[in-house]
Chains A and B, each alone.
Chain A
């Protein structure tokens, strides 16, 4: 341990790291993640409430997806801790479901829609368990929830982008988790899929589950989410959408990259 630890202060003047609230679905404390010598996420504290829909918002390259992967523990952290429902993330994996970016997999992989959804059941099966009819029914039920039951036996490469995203969501549903982490679930999907996904996410929230999504469309943040975390390598703002998602916060997060006209449109649409 270094004898002198500088006080790291965020934009809102809070000292890091803050205490971990017991009722938070996901708490990240002093997390730094770097690729090589350049931090992609620096000393970030983030708290995502349970029973709510949260968005992670920020410009390209701001560390949104990196923060999500660090929260999952799938990429190593240089420093910091992640707690899921008050437990270290490594001990709470069965309570987390991850919906990765659609572009991150090879869609020509020899597997069917149903096979992909059943992947969500693997941890419950263990090494020796067999995928029985009950499991199959469960997977089909999850497919039905996202409106994809008719596609169960298709090869995944034959699906449209929106359908692929729905299949990933169905797989997460099959995990029957308490915390759902989604990486840009609405990127490049059609309007019908966006509607279907948001309906499923809202039904999860109604069941008391927590949803955290990396989100790129600023226009829908207020409509879809309750809570927002704004990041540009460091934490810029976080809190309930109606008081946090402001012009000032957007300006500090996006810097000069957001056109003034765009900003005023967002502020107008959100003011009501």
Chain B
């Protein structure tokens, strides 16, 4: 089977190179992007990615003018890093020095830089050496002619990211959680923000070859958003996002290698999106299904409690769901008349209500009596001794 062969790197030299490169890229983009996600600046990465295009084109023009090979990957990536950096600084400057908000700055920079890049691509088309340049492949990525040295560039970029993350994880987390607090500890928030952006830029530039500049934002953001479903700790989130990105890169590359003419970059992104959808639905604590089940249980508790209070007050239970719930527990008969068990349970509910009345009179402190929400069992809030005291006062005549 073609997919299995691709998964075990048996689909030829190029396919194996692409799969390994995509996995490394996925790891570095996923982990680098998680700080952007934590800092709530995910969209900056989109502007950075689009700002790479004029750099690629300019680098090509410069290299050709100097008489070299315009398609040298290292040169092109260097050029893309320069304009991506400029775009980043432009966003920073606009949102710090003017009254425009960051999203407006992102929109402006993204449009201007990308537009300029497209113009330059058209210029290159008219150059004699430009027709075979194939720079358009940087838009959506292309793995057809991937070389060993390309894979080395990606591996180098990935290693750099992991190193920076390992070194700056604590400051970057601090700034993402609360920039003012980080500043009060003496951290330079601006420099740390630039480091986060630098990581993102590195992943973007390195990812241009495989995923392309339009879709790289997906590789930066989707893994960390997916990871958020699986952990409540930022320290783990970063590496889970890296792992998810790596898996998406590897699986996506293998998938596209196993079927002729499937584009690699978009397939990688779709695999990442599939992992995201699975997590969104099935994650144990934060997933959609878990939340629905939780809500369902909560609803049952509310109905049970209200039903018992109605039984105690000898009110009729009108809601069918409440009746079914109590009947299933054997607390009422099918016609709504309470059984012996039902009466006992109702009496217990009434006693707890009376205990709460006393408790709220004794404890003005809302830290305790504030938990009188109808559902929280009194045994969870007060000790048996305290409850015994409430019962003693309940027996005594009402005193004010």
Binding site for B on A (CB under 8 A): 69, 72-74, 90, 93-94, 96, 98, 100, 104-106, 109-112, 115-116, 119, 122-123, 125, 127-128, 155, 162, 175, 181, 190-193
Taking chain B's interface residues, is the majority helix, strand, or loop, or is none over half, making it mixed?
A: helix
B180 pairs with A100, CB closer than 8 A: yes
Of all chain A residues, the one with the shortest Cβ separation from B368 is: A192
Contacts of A73 in B (CB 8 A): 183-184
Taking residues whose C-beta sits less than 8 angstroms from the other chain, chain B's interface range is 20 to 34
B260 close to chain A: CB less than 8 A: no
Residues of B near any A CB (own CB < 8 A): 38, 40, 167-168, 170-171, 173-174, 176-178, 180-181, 183-186, 228, 231-235, 237, 364-368, 370
Interface centre among A110, A115, A191 (most CB of B within 10 A): A110
What are 9 of the A-B contact pairs (CB < 8 Å)? A72-B184, A73-B184, A106-B40, A110-B232, A111-B232, A119-B181, A123-B185, A125-B170, A192-B368
Please tell me if the beta carbons of A74 and B365 are within 8 angstroms of each other in the complex: no
Whether the pair A111, B367 counts as a contact (CB closer than 8 A) is: no
A110's partner among B168, B178, B186, B234 (CB-CB below 8 A) is: B234
> Which A-B residue pairs are the 7 nearest by beta carbons?
A192-B367, A98-B184, A93-B186, A74-B183, A155-B232, A190-B367, A72-B184
| Assembled-state Cα–Cα distance A111/B238 (Å) | 12
A94 vs B231: C-alpha distance in the bound complex, in angstroms?
A: 32
Count, A-B residue pairs, CB within 8 A: 81
- Contacts A96-B184, A100-B180, A122-B174; A111 near B366 (Cβ below 8 A): no
In-complex Cβ contact of A112 among B233, B237, B368 (8 A): B233
Q: Are A110 and B184 in contact (CB under 8 A)?
A: no
Q: Which of B167, B233, B368 contacts A111 (CB 8 A)?
A: B233
Asked whether A193 lies within 8 Å of B181 as measured between CB atoms, the reply is: no
Partner of A93, one of B40, B170, B184: B184
Chain B residue contacts of A96, Cβ below 8 A: 184
A93 touches B185 (CB 8 A): yes
- Nearest CB in chain A to that of B230: its residue: A110
Known A-B contacts A110-B231, A110-B232, A110-B237; the reply to A94 vs B38 at CB < 8 A is no
Given contacts A111-B234, A122-B185, are A162 and B180 in contact (CB under 8 A)? no
B177–A123 contact, CB under 8 A?
A: no
Q: What separation, in Å, do the CA atoms of A162 and B370 have in the docked complex?
A: 12
- The complex places the Cα of A109 from the Cα of B237 at a distance, in Å, of 11
Q: How far is the CA of A71 from the CA of B186 in the complex (A)?
A: 13
CA distance A69 to B174 in the complex (A): 17
Could you tell me if A104 and B234 are in contact, using CB atoms closer than 8 angstroms? no
